[in-house]
Every structure is written in C-alpha cells, then in structure tokens.
C-alpha cells in the first residue's frame, strides 16, 4: 500500500511513546514492502529511525509557527528570516527547549492548528497540501499520528482523495494539562473534526473506553492495535552477577511527589522482610530538590533525574531484578513494560489503566492495589522471596512479548485497519 504518515517530528530530543510507536511502525511497514511517505510536522524526523526513504522536509516549522502565533508581527518577517527559523540547527534547538513541548504553554496554538483551514496556520496547511499534490505520490491512505493533528484531515482528504486514519494515544493527558477555557475549546474542536476521519486506532482497550466517548467517536470506527517493540534484543536472559543484591528499578513522572512517597515507603517496609534485606532501589524521575534521603536509606537507595535517552532507559531497565513504572495518571500504554519483560525482567505494576490488559497478554509480572504502599511492599517481598516464580515470570514475559507484541503483529493489524477503509 501507499501510505502517507503525518507525524510530529522528534528532532534530536526526547522520544515520547507516540514517537517510538510511529518510528517502529514506519520502519516495519517499509520493511514489509509498503510505500511509506513520512511527513514530519514541527520538527524533523531522523532518517535512521524509520528505515525508509528520507522523509519529507518538516512543515509547520516549530520555531517559526510558535513565534508567528505568539507575536503576529513575525508573519511579516522577511523570507530569509523565516528560512533561518526553519533551518535544521534552529529546529534542533527548538526540540530541546522544554517550553516548546509543554502543553500548558501551547494551548492556544494547539487550538489554532486544530481549526485547520480556519485557523491561524491555514497557510501552512495549504503549503503542505500543495507540496503533496506536486509530489504525485497519491496515497491509498493517510495516517495521522494523534488527534491533535485532526485539523489537517479535511484538507488532506480533499486534496489527495484518500481516507484518513488517526491513531489515539494519551491526547487527554496533554489537553487536560492546559488551562481553561482553552482545554474545553480544544475538546470541542477535536470532536467537530471527527467526521473528517474514516477510522481510528487506539493504543489499548482501556484507552478506547476512555477516549472514544470524550471525542464522540462511534465505537464501530475504532479498533485496538497495541504498540509493540522489536523484542529480538531480549529473547535471551541478560547476563548478570548472581551474587549482586536484588535491584528494584522504578521510573516515575518528573516531580511526582506522591509516587516518590509511595515508592520510598514501600521500599522501607519491604526491607524489613528477610527476602528483601539487601534490596537496592534506583528511582528515576526525581528532581534535584527532592533527592534528600535519611542516612540509613542512602546506603541502599538512589534517586536520579528522569532518563530521557532511549538507550539509557533500556540499560536502566535491564539492570533491575524487578521493574516498576508509575504515572500521575493512567496512560494509554507503556512501552517500558514491554522492554522490561522482553529482557527477562518481571514487572510490578498498579492494577489500573492498561496494565491489566498488557499483563494478561504478556504474563510477565504481577499487580498491586494502586496507591497502597503496604500492598506494594508485600507484592515485592513475595516476588523476591520466591526465585522460581520470579524465573517463571521472566521466561513467560520474554516469550509472550516476542510473540504477542511483535512489530510484525502491529504492522499487520495496522495494514488491516488501512485496508478496511481504503
């Protein structure tokens, strides 16, 4: 099939879950022989991450569009200045600036982009449509990365005479973090754009149940396709020091004091159990001002900032005996869990969000009552006190992620969604 994939570019900055999902899908579709044209929005897409022909140049250049929206005088800037703002060095810098990726700072701009041909970026949309028309690579299907790009659907569909598919993953956490009344206006505009789309793909059944009513999407238009990973790196047990103390490695959202308190209390309680007497904790996602530990805890616990590099994150996960990831609010899917289980690391997760759905398929971990430090410490102690069970979970998780969460499975299910609407 000929696929037009519209994605928010990544530059060289932090790779979010949606970015990792998109890059893995693009690479696998290309490897399967599909003709995929990748069009990045806001920031460039590194060629090496997609394994397909070089993507199109980025449209809606992040720095220029942000400045034009914030300071309309920039719309009258000379062309040489606009070209400089759209240059790769400036876009790379924009990708590294936290203010450019914070939803609280981008509410009005997000709403404007969602308004499509009626928004402040209508000229950007026309430039994109004209470029696609001139390429003469008419797609069989147009695939938008997320619902924040729905404002493009109508013009793209009319220009290319192709159906539009839209993935859905964690848009609610992005929008709900914005101040009112802009957040409510974004939801209203997104719902108004739903009729422009032929089908939706959600990251989990949990998220489908959550997001379809909020966007007024008929369930018949949506199907679940779980994000997947290349599990080949983790099909064999990872080597380790048998004499090393057990390690509980935890990822939390940046500056999430509630999750940090839960982890530290559960850790302290678990160490009272003989099976966890020499347990070590490494919690990532803790800002500098919250890294104070009492003298006794400093010898066995480490708090560090959020790991934003994919390779470093995988190394952090592989160093664990048991792995946990916590969020302020439940997310649509968490690829970290698949990375852990594919590497033979059992996971210990709250019984909420998509976790039951993931673990029912992968069977590589256990769950505890959300927010309950006592339940968490007891579950951790039971795991570490039962080495045969820990080994069995590691083996099942490794095998099931390889078969049930493979990239081929994700790509085939996505192509089936395309074909049902093409």
CB 295 within 8 A of CB 314: no
Summarised one tens digit per residue, pLDDT across range 229-284 is 987 765 444 444 567 899 999 999 987 899 999 999 999 999 999 989 999 999 99
Please check whether residue 411 is in contact with residue 3, taking contact to mean a CB–CB distance below 8 angstroms: no
Give residue-wise pLDDT tens across range 171-223.
999 899 899 999 999 999 999 999 999 999 999 999 999 999 999 999 999 99
Cβ neighbours for 188, distance < 8 A, ≥ 6 positions apart: none
pLDDT in tens, 273-321: 998 999 999 999 998 777 778 777 888 999 999 887 888 999 999 999 9
- Cα torsion angle, 411, 414, 420, 422, sign: negative
Judge whether 323 and 346 are in contact, CB under 8 Å. yes
Q: Which tokens sit at 216?
A: 């007024």
* DSSP run (H or E) holding 113: helix 107-114
Report pLDDT digits (tens) over 36-71. Answer: 999 988 777 765 455 555 567 778 776 677 666 777
Query: pTM score, two decimals?
Result: 0.89
Burial tier of 416 (Cβ tally within 10 Å: 0-12, 13-18, 19+): exposed
Mean pLDDT, to the nearest integer, of 353-374?
Answer: 97
Cα 397 from Cα 337, distance rounded (Å): 10
What span, in angstroms and rounded, lies between the C-alpha atoms of 334 and 354?
8
Pairs from 27-32 (Cβ < 8 Å, separation ≥ 24): 27/51, 27/52, 27/407, 28/407, 28/408, 28/410, 28/411, 29/3, 29/411, 29/414, 29/415, 32/408, 32/411, 32/415
């Amino acid at each position: 099939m000929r696929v037009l994939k519209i994605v928010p570019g990544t530059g060289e900055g932090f790779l979010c879950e949606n970015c990792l999902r998109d890059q893995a899908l693009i690479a696998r579709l290309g490897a399967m022989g599909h003709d995929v044209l990748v069009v990045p929005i806001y920031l460039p897409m590194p060629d090496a991450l997609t394994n397909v022909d070089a993507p199109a140049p980025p449209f809606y250049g992040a720095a220029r569009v942000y400045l034009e929206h914030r300071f309309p005088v920039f719309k009258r800037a000379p062309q040489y200045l606009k070209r400089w703002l759209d240059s790769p060095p400036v876009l790379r810098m924009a990708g590294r600036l936290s203010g450019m990726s914070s939803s609280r700072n981008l509410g009005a701009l997000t709403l404007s982009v969602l308004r499509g041909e009626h928004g402040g970026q209508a000229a950007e949309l026309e430039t994109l449509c004209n470029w696609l028309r001139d390429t003469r690579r008419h797609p069989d299907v147009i695939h938008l990365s997320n619902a924040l790009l729905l404002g493009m659907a109508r013009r793209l569909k009319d220009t290319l005479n192709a159906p539009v598919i839209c993935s859905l993953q964690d848009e609610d956490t992005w929008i709900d973090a914005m101040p009112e009344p802009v957040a409510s206006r974004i939801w209203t505009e997104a719902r108004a754009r739903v009729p422009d789309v032929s089908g939706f793909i959600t990251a989990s059944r949990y998220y489908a149940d959550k997001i379809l009513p909020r966007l007024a999407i008929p369930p018949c238009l949506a199907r679940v396709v779980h994000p997947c990973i290349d599990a080949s790196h983790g099909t064999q047990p990872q080597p380790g020091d048998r004499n090393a103390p057990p390690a509980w490695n935890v990822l939390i959202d940046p500056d999430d004091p509630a999750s940090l308190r839960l982890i530290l209390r559960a850790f302290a309680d678990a160490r009272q159990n003989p099976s966890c007497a020499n347990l070590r904790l490494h919690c990532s996602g803790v800002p500098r001002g919250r890294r104070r530990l009492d003298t006794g805890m400093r010898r066995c616990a480490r708090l560090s900032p959020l790991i934003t590099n994919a390779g470093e994150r995988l190394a952090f996960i592989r160093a664990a005996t048991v792995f946990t990831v916590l969020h302020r609010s439940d997310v649509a899917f968490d690829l970290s869990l698949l990375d852990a289980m594919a590497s033979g690391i059992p996971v210990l997760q709250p019984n909420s969000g998509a976790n039951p759905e993931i673990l029912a398929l992968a069977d590589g971990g256990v769950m505890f009552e959300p927010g309950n430090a006592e339940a968490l410490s007891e579950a951790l102690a039971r795991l570490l006190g039962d080495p045969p069970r820990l080994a069995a979970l590691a083996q099942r998780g490794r095998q099931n992620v390889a078969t049930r969460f493979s990239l081929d499975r994700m790509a085939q299910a996505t192509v089936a969604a395309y074909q049902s609407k093409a």
